[in-house]
């Protein structure tokens, strides 16, 4: 029965859920993301999300400003390689990029003016891609929850019938 309550609360507070998700994602980018070569779970998850959805940061590439990544990365980079158009994956989760393209990407990211048609920099954030992924699977998740509720009800009915037949 908890599934019903959770489903109702999720439907009612969907806007708040999106806001809290955005806040948590920004916190992760600013404080926990290391770089595209790191092997920690948080960096790997972010790299996969950004690479597969061709996005950068949460709302935009600017989410990396004043982040742990920007403050600790060697080479004075403003965004990870996965935020650049010409990046490609070589093996596993290792990303490579041509140096001239990296310089272009980094200069676009460090500009005070928002690039209109950037050559290399990916400006779209990942929150929309993640919310779209959740929306695409919402019906499936709802049907799974309904199936679990029906199964629980059947188990309770069967238990009552067994107890009734024992007497």
Domain ranges of the chain: 12-127
- Which alpha helices (H) appear in 1-98, and where do they start and end? 2-12, 14-31, 41-53, 68-72
**C-alpha count within 13 angstroms, C-beta hemisphere, residue 47:** 25
Per residue in 5-50, pLDDT (tens digit) is 766 777 777 778 788 889 999 999 999 999 877 888 999 999 889 9
Per residue in 94-106, pLDDT (tens digit) is 666 556 577 888 8
Helix, coil or strand: residue 89: strand
Token code pair at residue 6: 């959770």
**Choice between 67 and 87, residue whose per-residue pLDDT is larger:** 67
Per residue in 136-155, pLDDT (tens digit) is 887 887 788 888 889 999 99
* Displacement of CA 24 from its chain's centroid (Å): 10
- Given the structure tokens 């806040």, which residue do they identify? 23
pTM, two decimals, is 0.71
């Amino acid at each position: 029965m908890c599934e019903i309550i959770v489903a109702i609360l999720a439907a009612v507070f969907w806007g708040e859920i999106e806001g809290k998700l955005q806040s948590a994602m920004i916190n992760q980018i600013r404080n926990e993301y290391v770089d595209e070569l790191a092997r920690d779970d948080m960096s790997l998850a972010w790299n996969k999300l950004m690479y597969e959805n061709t996005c950068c940061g949460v709302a935009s590439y600017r989410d990396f400003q004043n982040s742990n990544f920007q403050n600790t990365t060697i080479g004075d980079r403003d965004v990870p390689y996965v935020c650049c158009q010409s990046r490609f994956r070589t093996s596993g989760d290792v990303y490579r990029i041509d140096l001239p393209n990296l310089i272009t990407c980094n200069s676009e990211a460090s500009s005070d003016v928002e690039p209109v048609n950037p050559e290399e920099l990916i400006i779209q954030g990942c929150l929309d891609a993640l919310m779209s992924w959740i929306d695409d699977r919402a019906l499936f998740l709802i049907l799974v929850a309904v199936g679990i509720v029906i199964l629980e009800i059947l188990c309770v009915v069967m238990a009552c019938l067994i107890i009734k037949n024992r007497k």
